[in-house]
């Protein structure tokens, strides 16, 4: 009996990155896996194309090629930023699922986010540096600007997997969490234990603000000088999703002026120019796009794919990965990553 | 009508440190407050001593002087480390409560502890420094030793207010928490949602170990080379209570050798000598005894005192502060603090 | 400016049942609402049909009629049991959402489920009746078969909205919850805080079993004599979803024999024949399909519809209601309700 | 080597009731256990009395006899209602702990309390009876007065172990819980996740009120006609602690009049007279003092005693049982139980 065929083009990920040895063995036991370059796909024989049930990766695909993939059921986009390189309408019409696996990054990114929030609230990094330098201040004198996260006001902008992961990690802190997400109905936020709020209120009424919103065509640069000016003096701004939602120069100005503190895992250029002022800025905690890329996260991707393959094999819809939506797929504008 | 008399000798704290303006006003409205130096107490007239209902502070007191304080009901030790400078047996016989207010530090210390755990698990401080230096590594390559706190194995040594605060903050991380505390029955730990364990198991089977035990006569230096050797390679040791429970040289050796990572808020000498190797040690995160001393914590002390005074005034036992116990008061050996 | 047109055929619900006065006012302010009988729809003018954006209800619709509804975006099935009375494939191809609002019943049904579990575990109903009759037993003697829910073993069969609501309500009971749901991947159950298990294990290893599974073509009557025989002696079986998943005669036999206790909100005939033995059976707690039908649940339906209309109006997908899936819509076999 | 001597007079409990076979074996392995009648104690030889370290039970004891018990460290009152039958001041002066084990009942009583609350909110008992009688109403028509516990307003009067257990069980219901307890400071209630409130507010502003307060000299009958009149029309009153805190006739009047619903586990006479109107009263759910007396609760008592004995043997204070307090021991006025 033939096994279902999987077309594998997962770059920049590799199957070895996303599957543990055991999972990879399991994958090959259950499926035929055709590893190939994107530009070779259209040259495959109709017979081969017609046997493809699943694609792992995000290759550019024409409607013509897709039409020849008569058995196609699901495309697992393991890069997870949806590029406009295939006719999504055609896929949706045929009921072919396009799913992303980016949810695996939610937990590691959220943990780094909490680390950043605590570091800024307690000046952890500078205090360690001072200790190294022999200039440390002992006891309460160094805590004049210190603040607890417990019972503080926390804002979250964007409430996808990452916003939810943050909320979960923060449960024990019993904070007052308000959320701005125009794509979600208020009652769903209430059910998740947070308060729905306008962007303006989230900016004005919090001690810590986490930005975990996706970039879309509409929201590029919406966090700008005017937004930062609304924030409480001395409050913390933590950027975890994509730098394009922020006007980065306005952000560094707001930190430079002493109005707010900030931390970021993402930057408008990666790497940033060596002479960029953010590199030496006081009150800015830097992370070189390393929040999500843990090996455990990549291996969770593989598990996610295996679990959804199992459902699909049994004629059920995938549920572990996140489905692209007809309405929003065209709006997403995150840049694809070029490294893991 | 006369108000109850409070004897106030709170050094090194001051009433202004522990009471907000409003709370201080309330204190004076409800009580006569006699502020005095310790060595002046015994010279007070019998009549005055006989009117003292409460003491705020931890002055040295002879049994003779205490006997003259016929109305004494409670001593609020706001320094919170019990020194052997008064006849506790005499106090307990008379049913005079001796209470400490150190529980206010549990939450701020626990928050710094979580910050430290996340910083060590994700190399936050060195990654920021590298970014400053222009030597940062982008993406997953810098995460080879990174680990999530979520679902990890976490050990806690000592389970007083601070251990409980840590456990609460960590709820959202869904970690597997095991606790060693020989003063507590196992079922009470189970009820608190943690697993009772031997010291040996806590040392051997965790990714992160928080030390929040008090110093007693029996446990001085019990965390030594042998203990550190039992820890998992690459695991994290976080010292939050008192440095005397640790053999500090053994600790720095264990970090220096690369066996474990560590963070500490307390040190055998404060300040540490300027040439002490811990100041420049890789894998060691330093905090100059600043974990608990937040203004909000001190003000909570004042609230704690006011709430217990209210209960005592109504003939009820104090419940917000922590009572010293006949059995253990003599065993506690924390050094008193000389700064806040 | 014209408002979007809604076709309203919500029987057996009515707009007054599902919308509060305020919500109904809001509905009419934002939409033109055409209330009509199902058999009148096809006779509507093309122009009218072409203006319909949304349908509230589940009218039988031919592909021809649907084709004339060129602006149709979403069908809100407020009855919530999907009948095979419209060409779903056609709808899915066009990207028209078919959503159900049955999630509003999850919480009230779950609450009754917890009530039933506690009543069976503590013999609440018979003890009250005995007290009425003057035959009550005082104190512990009546508790020989009593069991706590706290820390007990609880099984859940089916893990949709209702299974999740149950799990949430039970958090405080710290029970050991295992779940059988073949439509869900194990990791998702783990993330929800429950243990994935086989049907066999759920049956064999629990003190209380909640059945909240939907009826499909495959699972009709799968809980039968063989299943009940696997259950622990004296354990409790609580049926909350649909009676068709159970062989009802086998269930009553298992209760009659004293092997298990049971409670049910659903019955193979509603009303059951007046002489049916379940009416007088000891160890069986009866509820006449009244678990979900609370006014607050119906009003939540209206809120759900309004929130999803708001998203749809802004070009976003509905998220509050639950979407029918191409893969499973044909498998669902719940009977539609004929009363609220 | 001699083992410590325990004097055992646990009536109305027996050692077999409170110790499992294994725990009882452990008890005898670690201790000499002298089982004796109360009136034989004073006749024991000085040598024997002088060897008694612990007492399990609540025998009447004169100061003279106690003085002869020179090694006495702790009295485990397993009946748990403190009777005024020994000189407590003398015990407290000597630092002899008097502890009660009633906390074991908190969880079973709280579970029955939640069962009662859900039964009243959903009319579970009468609906089952109607089904038996063939007069049941199907579907939503029977739910006109139904209410969810989720997100409802819940009041708790008294916040000891039982109030805390209730609060824990209710976590998943996300209710708005307000508490009246004059013996506790407000901040402690806030920390426990509930809102401190006046008695008046608790009565006026809740849908369900749980009474779990102890009886004291001051509060006998404080829940009377005036209190019930303040309650919301149709709200539920659930009495779980002691009937003496309630004016029972006023309570039945309030139920009879249709103003409130009620449930009770305790009654002014136990058993109640066979012709007492509460036996047939609609809107009253009856339980014949059976809420706490589960075998698992009694066995937890034994575990509690064993764990505290272990601490005491090591020179530590007991922590699992609850200590009687000098200030309040004289105020408690629960009647001792005469059956388990």
Q: Mean of the pLDDT values across residues A303-312?
A: 98
DSSP D162: H
Question: Is C340 within a domain?
Answer: no
Chain C residues touching residue A296 (CB < 8 angstroms): none
Question: Is D244 within a domain?
Answer: yes
Query: Which of B16, B150, B166 to probe the A interface (max A CBs under 10 A)?
Result: B150
Summarised one tens digit per residue, pLDDT across range D204-259 is 999 999 999 999 888 999 999 999 999 999 999 999 999 999 999 999 999 999 99
Reported as a pLDDT band with limits 50, 70 and 90, residue A12 is confident
CA distances from C39 to B87, C30, C35, D120 (A): 93, 26, 12, 44
Nearest CA in chain C to A304: C187
Residue A174 to chain B, least CA–CA distance (Å):
9
Residue C206 CA to its chain's centroid (Å): 23
- Range with the lowest mean pLDDT among A81-85, A238-242, D120-124? A81-85
- If asked whether residues B149 and B279 sit together in one domain, one would say yes
Question: Is B337 within a domain?
Answer: no
Does the pLDDT of residue A229 top 70, yes or no?
Answer: yes
Structure confidence at residue D334 (pLDDT): 66
Question: Is B340 within a domain?
Answer: no
D251: number of CA atoms within 13 Å, CB side? 26
- If asked whether residues B19 and B73 sit together in one domain, one would say yes
Q: Which of residues 45-104 of D touch B (CB under 8 A)?
A: 92-93, 95
**Cis amide leading into B303 (omega within 30):** no
Q: Is D316 on the interface with C (CB under 8 A)?
A: no
Q: Do A182 and A328 touch, CB atoms closer than 8 A?
A: no
Question: Is C276 within a domain?
Answer: yes
Identify which of C246, B132, B217 has the alpha carbon closest to the alpha carbon of residue A281: B132
Chain A residues touching residue C93 (CB < 8 angstroms): 93-95
Reported as a pLDDT band with limits 50, 70 and 90, residue D191 is very high
Residue written as token pair 């009876």 = D129
The 8 Å CB, 24+ separation contacts for A200-203 are A200/A230, A202/A155, A202/A156, A202/A157, A202/A178, A203/A155, A203/A227, A203/A230, A203/A231
Does the pLDDT of residue D11 top 90, yes or no?
Answer: no
Chain D residues touching residue B326 (CB < 8 angstroms): 95, 317
* Phi–psi pair at C7, nearest 5 degrees: -90, 125
Q: How many Å apart are CA D165 and CA D177, to the nearest integer?
A: 13
Q: Helix count (H) and strand count (E) of chain A?
A: 13, 13
Question: Is B336 within a domain?
Answer: no
DSSP string, C186-225: HHHHHHTT-EE--HHHHHHT-SEEEE-PPPBTTTTT-B-H
Chain A residues touching residue C185 (CB < 8 angstroms): 307-308, 310-311, 319-320
Does the pLDDT of residue C321 top 90, yes or no?
Answer: yes
Helices (H), chain C: 15-18, 21-30, 46-51, 63-68, 88-93, 106-122, 124-133, 161-169, 186-191, 199-204, 225-230, 248-256, 295-313
Query: Which residues of chain B, if any, have pLDDT below 70?
Result: 1, 333-338
Q: How many Å apart are CA C324 and CA C336, to the nearest integer?
A: 15
Nearest CA in chain B to D97: B326
Test C140 with D294 for CB contact under 8 angstroms: yes
Q: Do A230 and A204 touch, CB atoms closer than 8 A?
A: yes
DSSP B251: H
CA distances from B89 to A272, B94, B95, C215, D186 (A): 67, 9, 10, 71, 31
Summarised one tens digit per residue, pLDDT across range C166-198 is 999 999 999 999 999 999 999 999 999 999 999
Structure confidence at residue C219 (pLDDT): 92
**Cis amide leading into D271 (omega within 30):** yes
Q: How many domains does chain B have?
A: 2
Structure confidence at residue B336 (pLDDT): 65
C305 vs A12, higher pLDDT: C305
Identify which of A257, A169, A271 has the alpha carbon closest to the alpha carbon of residue A210: A169
Does the pLDDT of residue A264 top 90, yes or no?
Answer: yes
Reported as a pLDDT band with limits 50, 70 and 90, residue C208 is very high
- If asked whether residues A21 and A146 sit together in one domain, one would say no
CA distances from B257 to B229, B252, B262 (A): 11, 8, 12
Strand C322-323 vs strand C97-100: parallel, antiparallel, or unpaired?
antiparallel
Question: Is C58 within a domain?
Answer: yes
Does the pLDDT of residue C336 top 70, yes or no?
Answer: no
Q: Is B140 on the interface with A (CB under 8 A)?
A: yes
Percent share of chain D, pLDDT over 90: 92
For helices D161-169 and D106-122, the axis angle rounded to 10 degrees is 50
Chain D residues touching residue B20 (CB < 8 angstroms): none
Summarised one tens digit per residue, pLDDT across range B53-103 is 999 999 999 999 999 999 999 999 999 889 889 999 999 999 999 999 999
Cβ–Cβ contacts within 10 Å for residue C112, how many?
27
User: B24 exposed, middle or buried (CB, 10 Å; 0-12, 13-18, 19+)?
Assistant: middle
- If asked whether residues D265 and D138 sit together in one domain, one would say yes
Cβ–Cβ contacts within 10 Å for residue C265, how many?
22
Does the pLDDT of residue A293 top 90, yes or no?
Answer: yes
- If asked whether residues C54 and C147 sit together in one domain, one would say no
Ramachandran class of C147: left when φ > 0, alpha when ψ lies in -120 to 50, beta otherwise: beta
Structure confidence at residue A334 (pLDDT): 66
CA distances from A123 to A18, A146, B115 (A): 36, 7, 10
DSSP string, A122-187: HTHHHHHHHHHHT----GGGGGTT---STT-EEEEE--SHHHHHHHHHTGGGT-EEEEE-TTS-HH
User: In A175-310, at which residue ranges do the beta strands (DSSP E only) sit?
Assistant: 176-180, 195-196, 208-211, 236-239, 261-264, 284-286
Q: Locate A292 and state its tokens.
A: 């999500």
Compute the mean pLDDT over every residue in chain C, rounded to the nearest whole number: 96
Instruction: Find residue D211's DSSP bridge partners.
Output: D157, D239
Question: Is C338 within a domain?
Answer: no
Residue B327 to chain D, least CA–CA distance (Å):
6
Test C168 with D172 for CB contact under 8 angstroms: yes
Q: D239: domain CATH number?
A: 3.40.50.720
CA distances from D50 to A246, D65, D91, D236 (A): 78, 10, 15, 53
- If asked whether residues C126 and C233 sit together in one domain, one would say yes
- If asked whether residues A150 and A279 sit together in one domain, one would say yes
- If asked whether residues D49 and D72 sit together in one domain, one would say yes
Structure confidence at residue A7 (pLDDT): 98
Give me the domain span that covers residue C58: 5-101+295-331
- The residues, ordered by sequence, that sit 6+ positions from A318 with a Cβ below 8 Å of its Cβ are A74, A97, A99, A308, A311, A312
Chains A–C, number of C-beta pairs less than 8 Å apart: 60
Residue A152 to chain B, least CA–CA distance (Å):
12
Identify which of B174, B125, B182, B172 has the alpha carbon closest to the alpha carbon of residue B154: B174
Q: Is A295 on the interface with B (CB under 8 A)?
A: yes
Instruction: Find residue D286's DSSP bridge partners.
Output: D264
Chain D residues touching residue C114 (CB < 8 angstroms): 114, 118
Structure confidence at residue B1 (pLDDT): 66
- If asked whether residues B152 and B214 sit together in one domain, one would say yes
The total number of residues shown for chain C amounts to 340
User: D332 exposed, middle or buried (CB, 10 Å; 0-12, 13-18, 19+)?
Assistant: middle
- If asked whether residues C17 and C31 sit together in one domain, one would say yes
Summarised one tens digit per residue, pLDDT across range D114-173 is 999 999 999 999 999 999 999 999 999 999 999 999 999 999 999 999 999 999 999 999
Q: How many Å apart are CA C83 and CA D88, to the nearest integer?
A: 74
Q: Is B332 on the interface with D (CB under 8 A)?
A: no
ipTM, interface predicted TM-score of the complex: 0.96
Reported as a pLDDT band with limits 50, 70 and 90, residue D333 is low
Cβ–Cβ contacts within 10 Å for residue C274, how many?
9
Chain C residues touching residue A92 (CB < 8 angstroms): 95
- If asked whether residues A86 and A209 sit together in one domain, one would say no
What pTM value is reported for the model?
Answer: 0.96
DSSP D180: E
Q: Is C172 on the interface with D (CB under 8 A)?
A: yes
- If asked whether residues C262 and C312 sit together in one domain, one would say no
Structure confidence at residue C337 (pLDDT): 66
């Amino acid at each position: 009996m033939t096994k279902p065929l999987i077309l594998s083009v997962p770059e920049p990920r590799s199957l070895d990155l996303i599957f543990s040895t055991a999972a990879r063995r399991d994958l090959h036991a259950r499926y035929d896996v055709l590893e190939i370059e994107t530009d070779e796909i259209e040259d495959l024989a109709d017979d081969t194309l017609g046997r493809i049930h699943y694609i792992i990766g995000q290759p550019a695909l024409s409607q013509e090629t897709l039409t020849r993939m008569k058995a196609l059921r699901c495309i697992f986009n393991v890069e997870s930023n949806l590029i406009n390189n295939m006719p999504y309408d055609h896929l949706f019409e045929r009921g072919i699922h396009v799913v992303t696996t980016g949810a695996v990054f939610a937990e590691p990114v959220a943990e780094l986010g909490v680390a950043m929030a605590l570091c800024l609230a307690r000046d952890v990094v500078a205090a360690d540096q001072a200790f190294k330098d022999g200039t440390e201040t002992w006891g309460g004198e160094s805590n004049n600007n210190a603040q607890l996260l417990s019972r503080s006001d926390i804002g979250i902008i964007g409430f996808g997997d990452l916003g939810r992961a943050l909320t979960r990690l923060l449960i024990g802190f019993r904070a007052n969490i308000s959320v701005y997400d125009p794509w979600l109905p208020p009652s769903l936020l209430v059910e998740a234990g947070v308060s729905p709020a306008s962007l303006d209120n989230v900016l004005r009424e919090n001690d810590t603000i986490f930005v975990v919103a996706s970039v879309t065509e509409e929201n590029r640069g919406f966090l700008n000088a005017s937004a930062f000016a609304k924030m409480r003096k001395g409050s913390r701004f933590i950027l975890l999703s994509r730098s394009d939602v922020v006007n980065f120069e306005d952000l560094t100005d707001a930190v430079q002026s002493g109005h707010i503190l900030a931390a970021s895992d993402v930057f408008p250029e990666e790497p940033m120019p060596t002479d960029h002022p953010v590199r030496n800025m006081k009150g800015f905690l830097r992370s070189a796009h390393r929040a999500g890329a843990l090996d455990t996260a990549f291996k969770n991707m593989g598990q996610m794919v295996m679990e959804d393959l199992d459902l699909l094999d049994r004629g059920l819809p995938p549920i572990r990965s996140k489905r692209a939506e007809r309405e929003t797929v065209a709006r997403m504008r995150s840049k694809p990553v070029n490294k893991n």
